[in-house]
Amino acid sequence: MSKDALDKFYLKQEEPNKSCFLVLRDYILDYNKGITETLKYGMPCFVYKGKQFCYLWKDKKTKEPYILIVEGGKLGHHALVKGDRARMKILPINPLGDLPLNTIKEVFDEAIKLYK
């Protein structure tokens, strides 16, 4: 996947989502050196040890960003929302507020253990 295709995803987003997605992208890539980024289904997909870890996307109705945790169904963190998903859960992000970095770290710490 070309870096250009990924950059285009981020650059075409409207504010405040664009800035929010860009900060989340940096945070996810800095979280663990083993995480890489690709584009799947038209959205950024972050891969750990060759397996899908999480995606960045936005809610269809509210247009607010969220982190889709691929193995979220196996996690019990209170901030995750299952909705009608069988396997995945989302972590909603308010693009107008401070990013919940402690919550994201807690979720990622729990999720990364499933890949080891």
Q: What is the largest CA-CA distance in the chain?
A: 36
| Burial category of 52 from C-beta neighbours within 10 Å (exposed 0-12, middle 13-18, buried 19 and up) | middle
Query: Which tens digit of pLDDT belongs to each residue from 40-99?
Result: 988 999 999 999 999 999 999 999 999 999 999 999 999 999 988 889 999 999 999 999
Using alpha carbons, list the distances in angstroms from residue 61 to 10, 58, 64.
19, 9, 8
- Rounded to two decimals, what is the model's pTM? 0.93
The Cα 88–Cα 40 span in angstroms is 15
Task: Render pLDDT for 70-83 as a digit per residue (tens, 0 to 9).
Answer: 999 999 999 999 98
* Domains of the chain, residue spans: 3-115
Q: Is the pLDDT of residue 2 over 80?
A: no
Which CATH number is 3-115's, of 3.40.50.720, 3.90.1150.200, 2.40.50.180, 1.10.150.120? Answer: 3.90.1150.200
